[in-house]
Amino acid sequence: MIKPRLLLVDDEPGLLMSNGLALQHRLSGYDIVMALGPGRALSEIRRDPHGWAGIVTDFLMPYMHGADLLAASVIYSYGEHHYGNLFRLLVSSSREHRLPRNQGSIDLERVAEEMGVPFMLRPSGPLEFAAAVKDRLHRHQEHRGYELVDGHLVPKDVSYLERLN
């Protein structure tokens, strides 16, 4: 049985591994795929553009930030800016990013809001991270009218017999 896949992206190997393992434990109904950086993430998405239930990405990464990664993933998957039922989450250790040479700062939460993407401050540890992602994922599914049944995302209004087929 194929599980829905969740792509976890971070440029810090230690955070990626610890958070990924915690997600695998907390979200046993999902296949958690870990990508070290946006380049690796885009390679995974290109390999199977429609095979993702969601993407959880660090916001601040070298070469491409998480918001651009999400936008690029949609273009690969759908050819336009349409997210469908794709769960998306931008994660950062802070709400603000200071620009170099006293050029001010960027409010990361506001950027995410303007994109229509949920934003989450990174919790202190991997178990808290996994619990927060699981909570947000379940709220997303409920909002979209889906639930996880035997490792598959199915519409809530589908009858039990239809689910068996």
Query: How many CB atoms neighbour CB 104 within 10 A?
Result: 9
Contact between 67 and 59 (Cβ < 8 Å): yes
Q: Work out the widest C-alpha separation in the chain, in whole angstroms.
A: 62
Q: What is the pTM of this model?
A: 0.79
- The rounded mean pLDDT for the chain is 81
Superfamily grouping for domain 5-164: Response regulator (3.40.50.2300)
Q: Is the pLDDT of residue 58 over 50?
A: yes
132-153 pLDDT per residue, tens: 999 888 888 777 666 666 555 5
DSSP state at residue 97: E
Predicted confidence (pLDDT) at residue 12 exceeds the cutoff of 70 = yes
pLDDT at 87: 86
Boundaries of every domain in the chain: 5-164
Half-sphere CA count of 41, side-chain side, radius 13 A: 33
The tally of CA atoms less than 13 A away on the side-chain side of residue 159 is: 2
DSSP string covering 74-113, please?
Answer: HHHHHSSS--TT-EEEEEES-SEEEPSTT--EEEHHHHHH
**Range ranked top by mean pLDDT from 62-66, 82-86, 98-102, 125-129:** 125-129
Q: Report yes or no: 126 and 19 within 8 Å, Cβ to Cβ.
A: yes
